[in-house]
A = this chain, B = another copy of it.
Amino acid sequence: MTTDLPSGWVVDDTSAEEVARERAVYEPFTERLRRLVDLCIRSEVDLDAVLEAQAHVDAAIELLGRDTIEGSYGVRIGDGFGRNWGNAIMGLRNAIAPPLHIETDGVSRSWVDFELGAAYEGPPTFVHGGVLSLVLDHVFGAAAGADHTPHMTGTLTLVYKRATRLGVPLRAEAWVDRTEGRKSFVVGFVADEQGRTVEAEGIFVQPREWGQ
């Protein structure tokens, strides 16, 4: 364990038990918040009920706002394990994240099964194309980093074959096609049950400070 970690990486003294307790509270809380985000879009109740709901949201804001960190969550390393709970697409404590539960083969391949609801809409009834690029960016990074070497996106090219429906089972996959020094050339796709909807390729780069 080193003390000259990049900005935002924090080694804290949280024990495994404390992490488990925090997870047990924040995982369902964030899930409820995702449900509320969804209902804010899809609700048809009269506006007085929305104002009543707002009083509750204000009360929750008052409670959570009593003590906060500055900036963002970063990655907190306690008990030997990094927690990126604020991450925009994976974060356990981020209601914007679906969240994705990405799997890898530990070498050079990653995949995830997911479904996107009303909050991820672009063209009516379809997933926002940019949300699929966000998913692919992260899944590609997970393939490049499947062997536990962090990578940043260098380039990413997306080809949209057809629109992707909201509310249906989707799968994203990525694998490293080849590597050159610190660069991994990654390819992959998003598919629904009828086949691929987006194909992509990208170059993911291991930051110099992490390299050998």
Contact = CB atoms under 8 A, between A and B. Distances in A.
Nearest to A28: B54
Contact of A159 (B59, B91, B155): B155
Interface in A104-144: 117-126, 128-131, 133-138, 141
Contact of A39 (B36, B42, B61, B135): B61
A1 interface: no
B54 A8 contact: no
Contacts of A53: 29, 59-60, 63-64
Contacts of A123: 8, 150, 152
A67 interface: yes
Contact of A124 (B6, B43, B52, B159): B6
A167 B70 CA distance: 11
Contacts of A148: none
Tell me how many chains of this kind the complex includes.
Answer: 2
A95 interface: yes
Interface string A64-80: 11111101111100000
Interface of A: 6-9, 21-22, 25-26, 28-30, 32-33, 35-37, 39-45, 47, 49-54, 56-61, 63-69, 71-75, 84-89, 91, 93-96, 117-126, 128-131, 133-138, 141, 150, 152-160, 163, 166-167
